[in-house]
Chains A and B, each alone.
Chain A
Amino acid sequence: SAKQMSSQGGAKDLARVGETIFKSVDRFNYELFIMTYGAMVAQLLRDHEDVQEVNTRLEKMGHNIGLRLIEEFLARSNLNRCQEFKDTAEVIAKVGFKMFLGVAAGVTNWDQKKEEYSLILDENPLNDFVELPEGCQHLWFSNILCGVIRGCLEMLQWRVECKFVKDVLKGDETSEIRVKLIEIIPEEIPVGED
C-alpha cells in the first residue's frame, strides 16, 4: 500500500539502486577480502582468551568503519536520510548490503512500534571458507557487520543496538541481525543559541 512505501521508494526500487551501484564499482579480489577478514578474526581469537572480548572488538571495529562508510554510501547512492526509522530497514538490506557485500538482505520480524527489525542474511560472503572451531560457540564471526550498521545509523542521528541472534556458522538456518532503535540523536545546539 502507499502508506507502506517508504519515502525512499519501495523495496524493489531500492533493490535496483543497490544492484546498479554494485555493478558500477571497481571489482577487487573478493577472496582476498574474505580471507583478510578471516585472518583478522583468527588473530583476535589468539590475542584474547575471552570470546566475548572478540565479539566486542569486532563490533567496535565495525563501528569505526560505519562512521566513515556512511559517507561513501550517501555519495554513491544519492539517497537522503530516511524520514522515519522504519524506512532504514529496506535501505540497509537492499542498497547497503548489496553495495558493500554484494548480496542483499531480507527484512522481517518487526516489533509493533516499528522500532525494531531483523535483517536476514541468506548468504553471507564473510562466511565463505569458514568453520567455527571448538570453543568458539559463542563467537559471532561476522560481528563487524553489527558495528558497521550501528556506526552508519549513528551518523544519521539514529542510536541503535545491533546484534546477531542467529548464525549459519552455529548451525542456524539463516543468519539474522536484530536492529533496535534506542533513541533519535538530536543535533547539537551551538553554544549561545539555546
Chain B
Amino acid sequence: EETVVWQMIYTFYIFDRHGTCIFYETWHRTTAMSGTPDEEARLLYGMIWSLKAFVKRSSPYPDSEKSGFHFLKTSAYKLHYFETSTLFKFLISSDPDTTDLRDFLKAIYKNVFVEYVIKNPLYKMGEQIKCELFIENLQKEVKALPSFRSNLRINH
C-alpha cells in the first residue's frame, strides 16, 4: 500500500531586531489569514519571542550558545527558525515532514539577504524589502528546494 505525502513550503518571514516584519512571502497557502498581514506578523513574532525565552529558561545549559529554539513542529506544519547574531530573524514554514531547513535559512541570510539587501545602499534599514534582486534570488532558491512541492511515495 502506498501513501502520497506532499512536501511543501508555505511561508517565509524576515523580522529585524525591532520586531518589524521586513519581508513576507507565501506559496501554496491553503487557509486564509486570520487577521491582517500586520497582525499575523505581530502574533508570530510574539510567539517566537515567548518560545525563545521558554526554551532558554528550561534548558539544562541556558548560557550555551548551542541551546536555542530551532524549529517547532505540529501535525499540520513545521516552522524553521534562524536568528543571526545581529538579531535578524528568518522563518520558513513547511509541511511537517520536510527535513531541517535551518541551513537553508543560513544560506539565504549569507547569499541573498546580505548580498542584495544589506549591501544595497538604497535599502533603508527597517523598511519593507522591495529589492528586486533579493526577491528574484529568494524565489529561485526556495523553488529549487526539493521540498518546495513534491510528493513522496511511501510504501508500507
Give the interface of A toward B (CB within 8 A). Answer: 7, 67-68, 70-72, 74-75, 80-81, 83, 155-157, 187-193
Interface contact B65-A188, CB-CB below 8 Å: no
- On whether the beta carbons of B87 and A157 are closer than 8 Å, the reply is yes
With CB as the reference atom, state the residue of chain A lying closest to B16.
A188
The reply to whether A68 and B118 contact each other, CB–CB distance below 8 Å, is: yes
Partner of B84 from the list A74, A189, A193 (CB cut-off 8 Å) is A74
How many pairs of A and B residues are in contact by the CB < 8 Å rule? Answer: 51
Known: A72-B118, A190-B19. A67 touches B84 (CB 8 A): no
Residues of chain B at interface, number, CB under 8 A: 23
Q: A71-B114, A72-B119 given as contacts; is B42 within 8 A of A190 (CB)?
A: yes
Please tell me which one of the listed residues B18, B50, B65, B119 contacts residue A83 in the complex, with CB atoms under 8 A apart.
Answer: B65
A-chain residues with CB within 8 Å of residue B46 when the two chains form the complex: 190, 192-193
Report the Cα distance A122→B125, complex, angstroms.
Answer: 35
User: When chains A and B are docked, how far (Å) is the Cα of A83 from the Cα of B61?
Assistant: 14
Q: Which of B87, B119, B125 contacts A187 (CB 8 A)?
A: B87
- Tell me the nearest residue of chain B to A79, going by C-beta: B85
Give every chain B residue within 8 A of A155 (Cβ-Cβ).
17, 86-87
Task: Please indicate the chain B residues that have their CB under 8 angstroms from the CB of A75 in the complex.
Answer: 109-111, 114
Contacting pair B119 A68 (CB below 8 A): yes
Whether a CB of chain A sits under 8 angstroms from the CB of B23 is: no
In the bound complex, CA of A14 to CA of B156 (Å): 52
Residue contacts A-B, CB under 8 angstroms, 9 given: A7-B65, A71-B114, A74-B86, A75-B109, A75-B114, A80-B65, A156-B85, A188-B17, A193-B49
Q: Is the Cβ of B42 less than 8 Å from the Cβ of A67?
A: no
B2 located at the interface, meaning its Cβ lies under 8 Å from any Cβ of chain A in the complex: no
| B119 to A: closest C-beta gap in Å | 7
